[in-house]
Chain A
Amino acid sequence: MADRTSSNAYWAANVRIILTSLAIWFICSFGLGIILRPALKGMSVGGADLGFWFAQNGSIYVFLVLIFVYAWRMNKLDKEHGVEE
C-alpha cells in the first residue's frame, strides 16, 4: 500500500457509487414494487398498476441496468486511480 491516499480516495468513491446504486435498487423493488404500490394505484400499466409491474417485471430490468452501470463506472474509476489489473 505505497499509494495510501489515492487508494483511500478510490475506496471513498467506490462506496459513494455503491450507496447511490443501492438507493436505486431499494426504491425500485421495495419502494415502487411494495411500499408505494397503494399510493401509485392510479398509474396503470396494461391492465395492472405501476407497482404491480415493478414487482413482477420492472425491478428485474432495473437490477440488470444497475449491475452493468456499476461495472462500467468501476472500470473507469479503476483506471482513474491507476488500480486496474
Chain B
Amino acid sequence: MDQFTLNLLVVGATFALYIGIAIWARAGTTAEFYAAGQGVHPVLNGMATGADWMSAASFISMAGIIALAPAGGYEQSAYLMGWTGGYVLLALLLAPYLRKFGKFTVPEFIGDRFYSKGARLVAVVCLIVISVTYVIGQMRGVGVTFSRFLEVTTDTGLYIGAAIVFAYAVLGGMKGITYTQVAQYVVLIIAYTIPAIFISLQLTGSFLPQLGLIGSYTPDGVDSGVAMLAKLDQVVTELGFKAYTSESANMLNMVLFTMSLMIGTAGLPHVIIRFFTVPKVADARSSAGWALVFIALLYTVAPAVGSMARLNLTTTMWPASATGSAFDGPAITRADIDSNPELSWIRTWEKTGLLAMSDLNGDGQIQYFAEPAATAAANRELAAAKTALAGAAAGSDLTALEAAVADATAKRDAALATDTIGGQTLAERGWVGNEVTRIDNDMMVLANPEIAALPGWVVALVAAGALAAALSTAAGLLLAISSAISHDLIKGMINPGITEKGELLAARIAMGFAIVVATYLGLNPPGFAAQVVALAFGLAAATIFPVLMMGIFSKRINKEGAIAGMLVGLVFTSVYIFIYKGWFFVPGTNMLPDTAANYVFGISPLSIGTVGAIVNFVTAYVVSSVTAAPPQAVQDLVESIRVPRGAGKAQAH
C-alpha cells in the first residue's frame, strides 16, 4: 500500500470516528449545547481540555520553534512554562469559583458580578477578538496538513476540515465537541509520542524522551560518554550557531513573556468554559490537574523532540560530527542526498518548499552553518542588488544596477575574507554562504517519522494527529464564539424572552456563521495572522484574567472599576503592540522599528500583556476606591461563589 492510500485510510477512519461520536452525543438542550449538561467526568474533561488547548501550533510548530530559535532553545522555554503554568492559575484562582457560579459563559459572569450590561459587552468584544484570531491559525493548520499529506490543495483541505467541524460542532454543541476532543486527544498524543520515542531510542538509547533529553548521546547504540545536550551544543556552536542551552539575552523580557503566556492561558475564554462542564466544584479543581497531566505528556516531550531532531539534522549535514568534530570530514554531498535511500526524506521535504538547499559555491557539497553577522548582512545586500537587477525593465539603463551588484559582491568577498568559523576564514574554506537556505519550524515534527525511518502508518498517524490538534481547538473556539453571540448578545441583551428552543437554534446558527467566517479568514488570511496571536494572548492577559480574578477575590471592585480596568488594559496593550507592529497591523504604519533596541526596557510586544494586566489591576483598584461599593446582592454573590456547597446544575434562567 502506498503512503497516500495509508494516509487517506487513517485520516478517513479518524474522521468517521469523530462523526460517529457527534451523532451519539448530539445536544438536545442549551445546557448540553453550552456546557455538555455538566455531566462530564473530570478525567475525560481533562483530556478534552488538553485537546482543546493543544492547537496546531503546539503539535506542529512548537518543537521546531524551540529547536531552531536563533537565540538558542533555552529562551523558548517561555512557551513550555507559560502554556502549562497557566493551568496552576486556572485551578487555584478561577476554575472552581466560576464553576460554582454555574452559568454558561465568561461574559455572563462578568456581567452579573459587575451588575452591568456594559461590562458584559466589553467582555464579549474581547472574547470575539481573541477567539477569531485563534481560529484563523487552526483553519490554516488544517489546510496545510491536508495539502501536505493528502495531495489536495490547501483550500480544498480547508473546506473538508470546515465541513467536518460543522458536522460535529453544530450537531453536538459542547457535548459533541467534548467527547470528540477526548478521541482527538488520544489520536494526537499517540501520533506525537511514537516518533519521539523512536528518535530518543536512536540518539540516546532511552525509551522515555524526557530522560533522553538529559541522557547521554549514544549514536548506533554506542555510548559516546557525552551528554546529548552537550553534544548538541558542541556541533551547533562549531557551525556558528548559538548553543541550545545558552542563556537568555534579556531576562526581564523572558520573565514578562512567560508571565504573559501564563495569565493569557488562564484568561482564554475557550479554556475557561471547559470547566463549566464538570459536575462539581471539587471536580473543577482536579480536572485542571488532569488537563495538565495530558498536556504535560506532550509539553515535556517537545523539548526532547526539538533538540534531538536538531542534532539529527546537523549530524546528517555534517556526517563527521556524529562521532567527532563537524570539520573532521566533508559536508554531505548533493549526489549523496539524491541517491541515498536513507536521505529520501530530504528530497520529499525539499518538494514541499519547507526545506531548501542550494549549492552556492558549486563544490558539490551542502554546507550548513550560521553566517557570521558581517557575511549575513553582506549576503542580504547582494541578494537585494541582484533582485533589483533581475527585475529591471527590458531596455532600460542597467549600468547603475550592475555597479550596485559588483559593489555588493566586493563587500561580500571582503566579509568572507574576515569572518571566521572554526578558526578559518570563510574565504579559506571556500564558502560563500549557508547552503541550507530554509528550514521551516513545522518540518521538525512532521518529518520526524521519515527521518527516523519509521513505517508508513506512523507517518499517516502524524497527519491524523496534526488534524486532530487543529480541529479540536477550532471546535472549542467556535463554541466560545457561538455561545457569546447566542447567550450573551441575543438572550442577554437583544431578546431576553427567547425560548429554550429558540436559543438552541440561535446557538446553532451562530456556530454555523462562525464557521463560515473562520473558513473565509482561513482562505484569505490577513497578512498579519502571526502577529495577531500576540494580540490574543496580550488581550486575554490584560482584560479577561484580571477582571475575573478581582471579581472573585475582591468584594470591593465595582462596575466602574472593572470597566475602566478592562478598557485601559485593552487600549494600553493594543497600542504598545501597534506601535511596533503597525496600527491595526497595517504594514508600514508602525511608529518604531520592531527590534529589541527600540523596546521600552527591552520589553517586546509579545510580553506586554503582563504589564497590561498590572495596569488593569491598578486602574480597577483606584477607580473602585473612589466610587460606590457594589450593592449587597453582588457582595452576597461573591460570598456564595467562594464556597463549594450548593453548586448543583447550572440555572437555565
Contact = CB atoms under 8 A, between A and B. Distances in A.
A59 B227 CA distance: 21
B292 interface: yes
Contact of B229 (A22, A47, A83): A47
A25 to B, nearest CB: 5
Nearest to A49: B245
Given A18-B93, A52-B245, A74-B285, A34 B300 contact: no
A10 B215 CA distance: 46
Interface in A11-46: 11, 14-15, 18, 21-22, 25, 29-30, 33-35, 37-38, 45-46
A60 B210 CA distance: 12
Given A57-B303, A83-B645, A71 B80 contact: no
A22 B92 contact: yes
Task: Classify the interface of chain A: helix, strand, loop or mixed.
Answer: helix
A84 B644 contact: yes
The 6 closest A-B pairs by CB, nearest first: A47-B227, A46-B214, A55-B77, A47-B229, A67-B289, A71-B285
A85 B227 CA distance: 51
Contact of B282 (A48, A53, A78): A78
Contacts of B639: 1, 7
B254 interface: yes
B247 A84 contact: no
Contacts of B640: 1
Interface residues of A, number: 44
B92 A30 contact: no
Contacts of A25: 85, 88
Contact of A57 (B91, B226, B286, B300): B300
A38 B247 contact: yes
B523 interface: no
B281 interface: yes
Given A1-B639, A48-B245, A49-B245, A34 B88 contact: no
A56 interface: yes
B45 interface: no
A70 B285 contact: yes
Given A29-B85, A74-B285, A60 B92 contact: no
B296 A33 contact: no
Interface string B72-91: 01100100110011011001
Contacts of B647: 85
